[in-house]
Structure 1
Amino acid sequence: MKPQKGNLYLIPCTLGDTPPLEVLPLLVKKAVEHIDHYIVEHEKNARQFIKSIVPRKSQPDLQFQLINKFTNEGEIPQMLSPCFEGIDVGVISDAGCPGIADPGAAVVKEAHANGIKVVPLVGPSSILMAMMASGFNGQNFAFNGYLPIDKKERKAELKRLERLSYERDQSQLFIETPYRNNQMLESLLVSLHKDTRLCVACDITLPSEYIKTTTVEHWKKIKVDLHKRPTLFVIQK
């Protein structure tokens, strides 16, 4: 008789150096306590998170499989092999919620294809928290990931997203590599219409959290340093 399949737990983690139980519910701690098999982006980061939320957990007993944007699709079924033996597996992102702007989505897709129960746990998502704090249309929004690096292409894309936000009443979210955040803000201020509203949501859930929504025209009078600080940009015309 085959054992009942294990579950795939989607385990959110903190968005930075924040005490886990300040932003994560007890259910996340309980999941980490009983799961020893993990699929993660970076083993070192995952171990640090596990140690922070369950300090007494035996680190030598943990088993990790790595997934990132370069992972071959054919490698994913093997990552779920413990589930077919009745063992629960956890997916941990480097920051925030697995499967949201995160390579863990490919594992979830494979789990569904193989009849493995997927259990999403509650935790911080910078995308959703930025939308919550923006004051923009939370019933119609889109996350666009990274925009082009080339200045000309980026300006064209920003104008396209601004037009979409107006035509569809749809908030447009995107991110930038943290060390290029200040350049992105500059691009926004020279590319967008003065009346377009811009929300900058930086260091979400951290002591240095900074969230502000105002017009592009007003942003030109504000001095803020976003260098190397995780930031969400949201626009709506």
Structure 2
Amino acid sequence: MQNNFGKLYLIPTDLGDNPVWEVLPASVKTIIDFIDDYIVENEKSARRFIKKVHPEKPQPSLQLKILNKFTETSEKLSFLKACKEGRPMGLLSEAGCPAVADPGSDIVKLAHENNIQVVPLVGPSSIIMALMGSGMNGQSFAFNGYLPIDKNERKTELKRLEKLSNDQDQSQLFIETPYRNNKMLEDLCAILHPQTRLCVACDITLSSEYIKTYSINDWKHIKVDLHKRPAIFIIHKD
């Protein structure tokens, strides 16, 4: 059905403090040039990113809607007003691709329900890049978000994911709050089968990037500090 709505552009951001054009195509600047209305997670970081990509863009012209876990559904419905008035909008994630392990997926869902065209742009996804660099099964995989914090619940979930990877030949990806990464690695080494493969991928695209895949037995003898470093964990039991 034809309409005069503006398009919703899903604009990727960089994954850390590195030269933006090492990880983003020039088309991102072209898109930002003609968009003044944005849906973002954090106003300060969004303005900083836009300035980094397009220094000439007048900051006072930007209209930002803040989307986070506290945003009410009724408020989200109003976020696409600019699109309905015929103007393009940009959806920004705090890091990487919008709507992937990101609250922006709610906005994309609303856009489809309201017949607003969604345009995803090329950019870095730590989840996909971790899988690419892991040597795990790129034909069948699942992203599981955060695992339970409770010790017993976490053990049960890890065992379940390990069995699933073995039964379905499916690599299992998950993340942890960065300041608990070292504890996560300890738990993985203590809970999983010695021959289960584990990939740890952190600081992706940064100069400190670290991507290694070893068996759990080998990880028990490796010293690496993951504290406060954004990381993806991938397990696969063959």
**What CA distance in whole angstroms lies between the structure 2 residues aligned with 1:70 and 1:163?**
35
CA drift at 1:73 = 1.3
Q: Deviations over 1:57-102 (max 9, x none)?
A: 1011101001112221111121000111110000000000000000
Instruction: Please state whether the residue corresponding to 2:77 is helix, strand or coil.
Output: helix
Contiguous gaps of at least 5 residues in structure 2? none
Residue 148 (str. 1) matches residue 141 (str. 2): no
**Which residue of the partner structure matches residue 43 of structure 2?**
43
Amino acid paired to 1:107:
I
Q: Deviations over 1:151-176 (max 9, x none)?
A: 11111111110000000001000000
**Which residue of the partner structure matches residue 89 of structure 1?**
89
What TM-score comes out, normalization by structure 1 length?
A: 0.98
Amino acid paired to 2:71:
T
Contiguous gaps of at least 5 residues in structure 1? none
1:123-138 aligned within 5 A: 123-138=123-138
CA drift at 1:18 = 1.3
**What CA distance in whole angstroms lies between the structure 1 residues aligned with 2:70 and 2:78?**
16
**Which residue of the partner structure matches residue 67 of structure 1?**
67
**What CA distance in whole angstroms lies between the structure 1 residues aligned with 2:150 and 2:172?**
20
CA drift at 1:3 = 7.4
**What CA distance in whole angstroms lies between the structure 1 residues aligned with 2:119 and 2:95?**
18
Maintained 8 Å contact 1:200/1:212: yes
CA drift at 1:4 = 1.4
**Which residue of the partner structure matches residue 211 of structure 1?**
211
**What CA distance in whole angstroms lies between the structure 1 residues aligned with 2:230 and 2:32?**
26
Amino acid paired to 1:90:
G
**What CA distance in whole angstroms lies between the structure 1 residues aligned with 2:170 and 2:3?**
47
**What CA distance in whole angstroms lies between the structure 2 residues aligned with 1:137 and 1:116?**
35
**What CA distance in whole angstroms lies between the structure 1 residues aligned with 2:224 and 2:29?**
36
**What CA distance in whole angstroms lies between the structure 2 residues aligned with 1:166 and 1:79?**
43
Maintained 8 Å contact 1:3/1:84: no
Displacement over 6 Å in runs of 4+: none
Maintained 8 Å contact 1:178/1:229: yes
1:54-203 aligned within 5 A: 54-203=54-203
Q: Deviations over 1:191-210 (max 9, x none)?
A: 00000000000100000000
Identity, in percent, stands at 64
Maintained 8 Å contact 1:3/1:85: no
Instruction: Please state whether the residue corresponding to 1:83 is helix, strand or coil.
Output: helix
Paired residues in the alignment total 236
**Which residue of the partner structure matches residue 229 of structure 1?**
229
| CA-atom RMSD in angstroms | 1.1
Amino acid paired to 1:126:
S
What TM-score comes out, normalization by structure 2 length?
A: 0.97
Instruction: Please state whether the residue corresponding to 1:78 is helix, strand or coil.
Output: coil
Instruction: Please state whether the residue corresponding to 2:106 is helix, strand or coil.
Output: helix
**What CA distance in whole angstroms lies between the structure 1 residues aligned with 2:111 and 2:34?**
20
